[in-house]
Amino acid sequence: MDTTSAPTDAVEPERGPRATGRRSRRLPLVAGLLAVVVTGSAVTTWSALRVRDTHDHLRAAAGLIQRLQQQLQTADPAAGGTLGRLQEETRAARAGVDGLAWRLGGRLPVAGDDLIAVRAVTTTLDALAHDGLPQLVSTASLLAGEVLGPGRGRLNLEPMKRAAPELARAGRAFQRARQAVDAIADTGLTDPVREAVLRLRAEMGSASGMITAAARAATLLPAMLGDGGSRTYLVLFQNLAEVRATGGMPGAFVVLEADRGRIDIADQGTATGLQPFPRPVLPLTPSDRQLYTDKLATFPADINLTPHFPTTARLAREMYRRRTGQTVDGVFATDPVALSYLLRALGPVPVAGGRPLTADSAVPLLLSRIYADGISPVEQDAYFAAAARATFRALLRRPLDPAALKSVLAQAAAERRLLVWSTRPEENRLLENSTLAGVLPASDGDRPTVGVFLNDGSGAKLGYYLTHRAELAVTPTCRSDGRRELTLTVTLGSTAPAKGLPAYVLGLGLAGDPYTTRTNVSVYTSTGGALVSMRLDGAAQAFGSGRDRRRAVGIVTVDVPPGKTRTLRATMLTGVPAGGYAGKVTPRLWLTPGIAPWTQLTESGDRCPASR
């Protein structure tokens, strides 16, 4: 249920960055899912037990849920009436499954497990219809007006403040529902019912995460937008043509001032304009210094060699303070791909003295054509500044479709193209465990998370031509110490031409051949994990190593000539979560956002006999 523009980390990274934005808009209990449940093998048993009415009420509920989804997305006033009818149907269905006949049927062989599962689904649906969905209906209209479609240069903060407690209550209700569905035993179910339960778990997890994120956003945004006093933010625009761990080299920046919902540009500039510092502007941790050297804290263009965005943000804030004397209240980061998503909602934006920006043209124009046109770096900076001003003004002053704006922001956040850090610890705590924080999980639990982060080693802007694929699999090996073995395969390719690129794109040519893309690949294991080996194109590869926040890190330099691909394969061990791996092990990938989406594949591993 998409009730706010705030995104969430509940969208699983391994599903692929471009697909998750669309999938996240579905309700957790869609009509098709319930149809599978109620038309499975248990129907004949229901008829024998004279509880066919329950089946009919569930089918009616499925249709009402689908209608309610559409109404919530458009803030249709008829949503309240639909919810009332839904509550009648779920109440009647629950009365059926709570009856003696159904309870006795749950003791039958084969069909009994299915009946127990359907009863649990029905009970969960009825609970949400009375506590969870009502809060979403009441807040939908609050969050649909000027608060998300700004206009006239000011955001209306009152609806968010009023919606926050209701969304928090809805989040708790959906969390309870998620736990109830997770507790359904699926091993003895017939295939149609088991498939439905597994799908319901995935959808409930996504919905629960989204609503929790919506509640956090409604709590965070009023304060961050100056409800309690003026705030200033440094916004970094990452140039993906020169890749860095969080996306791209910090290029242009703007400083925004927010005061009671009104937002203005207070300053603009470039990372190069900040100039390098003779010594680190802030102390670095030993691991940061070992892995990324002092460049991390001395060169403005290198502050995001680390994938840990809070470190990047603190360094950016301090560098800006030292050069300008101004101290900001937080740091954001985004990139041209996220801008292209935003332009889908905004429409074309004219730029003074240059080409207009559109959803289709923004990425090639800002990351390739502007260099091919042969204009000077000074003129490039001027165009970037003008483009930022024009887009910002269009965002604040044009009437926007709230649903479209929410959709594009959610997609950008799911792909980790929107990063946020505040100087206030309580606000950062609310951002924890979301993609906005730009922080690998402090503990992976039973979901080992592996990171693959890229940093340009060419001193060039050849990242525009970089392609990437990542595959992560749990091997069948069962170790006596409880660890699991993972294999990671990263394939990098280059679509760069062999000649004809301007000198500004070729840069320093540190790979030797100026058209060869050199990339430093950092592989982060799961928490408590260890790297066993790395092989490049099948040959054993030496690698730089260290540890970063309880993760082993290996760094390998990969040179990719034009039109070629290189394959890096890493073998690693997980840590051992508390209690061990009790079931199937499903790993996750965390990747540097690129211009083109990563091709991703993750393969789960069955639980080991010792874990049973």
Per residue in 318-333, pLDDT tens?
Answer: 999 999 999 999 999 9
Q: Are 535 and 569 in contact (CB under 8 A)?
A: yes
Residue with tokens 């951002």: 431
Quick one: pLDDT at residue 13?
34
Helix, strand, coil percentages in the chain from 3-state DSSP, rounded to 5 = 45, 20, 35
Given this model, what pLDDT does residue 484 score? 94
The position carrying tokens 């210094």 is 289
Q: Rounded distance, CA 186 to CA 8, Å?
A: 27
488 has which bridge partners? 472, 570
Q: How many whole angstroms separate alpha carbon 173 and alpha carbon 171?
A: 5
User: The domain 231-429: what is its CATH number?
Assistant: 3.40.630
Q: Tokens standing for 355? A: 């080409």
How far is CA 44 from its chain centroid?
43
Mean pLDDT, residues 251-262 taken together: 91
Smallest Cα–Cα separation from 435: which of 16, 8, 109?
A: 8
Region 440-611: CATH code: 2.60.40
Per-residue confidence band for 508, with pLDDT thresholds at 50, 70 and 90 = very high
Would you state the pLDDT for residue 4?
37
- Using pLDDT thresholds of 50, 70 and 90, give the confidence band for residue 107: low
Sequential DSSP letters for 40-53:
STTHHHHHHTT-HH
Kindly report which listed range (200-214, 230-244, 421-435) carries the lowest average pLDDT score: 200-214
pLDDT at 610: 53
Span of 227-241, 288-302, 362-376, 536-550 with lowest mean pLDDT: 362-376
Range from 378-392, 452-466, 536-550 carrying the lowest mean pLDDT: 378-392
**What confidence score (pLDDT) does residue 299 get?**
97
Query: What is the percent of the chain with per-residue pLDDT over 90, rounded to a whole number?
Result: 55
Rounded (10°) angle between helices 133-140 and 52-74 = 30
Residue of higher predicted confidence among 146 and 401? 401
- Please indicate whether residue 10 or residue 120 has the higher confidence score (pLDDT): 120
CB 203 within 8 A of CB 29: yes
Of 63, 84, 86, 82, the closest CA to residue 74 belongs to 82
pLDDT digits (tens, 9 = 90+) for 265-282: 999 998 888 999 999 999
Instruction: List, for residues 55-86, the tens digit of each pLDDT value.
Output: 788 889 888 988 988 888 777 889 999 999 99
Query: Angle at the Cα of 589 (from 586 to 593), degrees rounded to 5?
Result: 160
Spell out the domain ranges in the chain: 13-224, 231-429, 440-611
Higher pLDDT, 477 or 539: 539
The amino acid at 522: S
How do residues 12-48 score in pLDDT, each as one tens digit?
A: 333 333 333 333 333 434 333 344 344 444 444 444 4
The amino acid present at 119, given as its one-letter code, is R
432-439: Cβ within 8 A, 24+ apart: 433/9, 434/7, 434/8, 434/9, 434/213, 434/216, 435/7, 435/8, 435/9, 435/11, 436/6, 436/7, 437/309, 437/310, 438/246, 438/307, 438/308, 438/309, 438/310, 438/312, 438/333, 439/308, 439/309, 439/310
